[in-house]
Copies of this chain bind each other. A is one copy, B any other.
Amino acid sequence: MSHNSFGHLFRVTTFGESHGPALGCVVDGCPPRIPLTAADIQAELDRRKPGQSRFTTQRREPDEVRILSGVFEDERTGGQVTTGTPIALLIENVDQRSKDYGEIRDKYRPGHADFTYDIKYGVRDYRGGGRSSARETAARVAAGAIARKVVPGLLVRGALVQIGPHRIDRANWDWDEVGRNPFFCPDAKAAALFADYLDGVRKKGSSIGAVIEVVAEGVPAGLGAPIYAKVDSEIAAALMSINAVKGVEIGAGFGAAELTGEENADEIRLSNDGTPLFLSNHAGGILGGISTGQAIVARFAVKPTSSILTERRSVDRFGHDVDVQTKGRHDPCVGIRAVPVGEAMVACVVADQFLRHRGQVGQSSPWPFPRI
């Protein structure tokens, strides 16, 4: 019940501060006999790690992961598989330049958790934001790499769909493009625009917000745990728990407020093979908190980093008015690296719901339904 864990049957507990010796997580509840190596996890971590383009922080962290437990050799293949016991993952911090943070030791950056951590705990590791740093999300991405393997056929992908005032053109959406630009942007034209725009932001020492979309395909119909652990409710919690996220929506999202019942209805027809086929997906793949079998579509909004060069008015921890300017190394748009983090969180929710569904219901009903 303490609060550095998420999930129920697939349960992840993270630990670590930005400038402490290490960070990591324990993944508890992963089913046994799933092939898993450090390389599987490293591949996902490498997508999130900093310093890969001029658009993210220049901190150099290899983010190398070690598996400390929970895997063992498969005698037939010589490869490694999960054993059903907790999988501990460790990532050592390497490039901590703690001297950068002398300035913010006593002064509260407006919009940052410095202030609230001090209010709550009366002590904090101020170096690089300590526990409130986005470095914690490396552990999420590592856990997500395992979650992806739990649900057969699951494919979770994310994309940056807006930076500041600039949105992608959905007509240009190309998943292959996501891996080709430093923004995880599915629209090549928009990516070019993002680069120009973000260069301006970066040079001014400013920062900007963004919107990310995560799409999970291959989610079996029937997952979800009404009433208070609906798939959408858990995705909302998971995404909102990511640093700097201020909004989450599913399917039509806030746009649904402007729709009529006629417009919003996702009509259904039988497909040629006799299974139900939805003719649209305003629901974002979830009805009544339960997956429909369509793609789950979630979006989340990330605010601009509070670490900027321009001075802002604030107070210090001794009770004085001060002005704060943040030098250090920071992401001008934390939304970019939030893409793999959002994917990881959705993957973890789906994996957890999958295991819970299998536990409570055994398996979904066949369709058409000879009810009972």
Contact = CB atoms under 8 A, between A and B. Distances in A.
Interface string A348-366: 0000000111111110110
B246 A247 contact: no
A75 B370 CA distance: 10
Contacts of A260: 164, 201, 206-208, 304, 308
Give the number of times this chain occurs in the complex, counting copies. 4
A21 interface: yes
Given A83-B131, A115-B268, A247-B248, 18 more contacts: A14-B227, A17-B85, A83-B123, A84-B120, A111-B287, A113-B289, A115-B276, A118-B367, A118-B369, A164-B260, A165-B258, A232-B240, A256-B303, A257-B335, A261-B306, A263-B304, A264-B303, A270-B315
A236 B228 CA distance: 11
Interface string A195-215: 000000100001111110000
B84 A360 contact: yes
Given A69-B17, A111-B283, A360-B84, A123 B371 contact: yes
A72 B98 CA distance: 13
Contacts of A308: 260-262, 265
Contact of A262 (B11, B22, B136, B310): B310
A31 to B, nearest CB: 6
A290 interface: yes
Contact of A240 (B236, B320, B367): B236
A8 B69 CA distance: 24
Contacts of A251: 246
Given A123-B74, A251-B246, A269 B116 contact: no
A258 B209 contact: yes
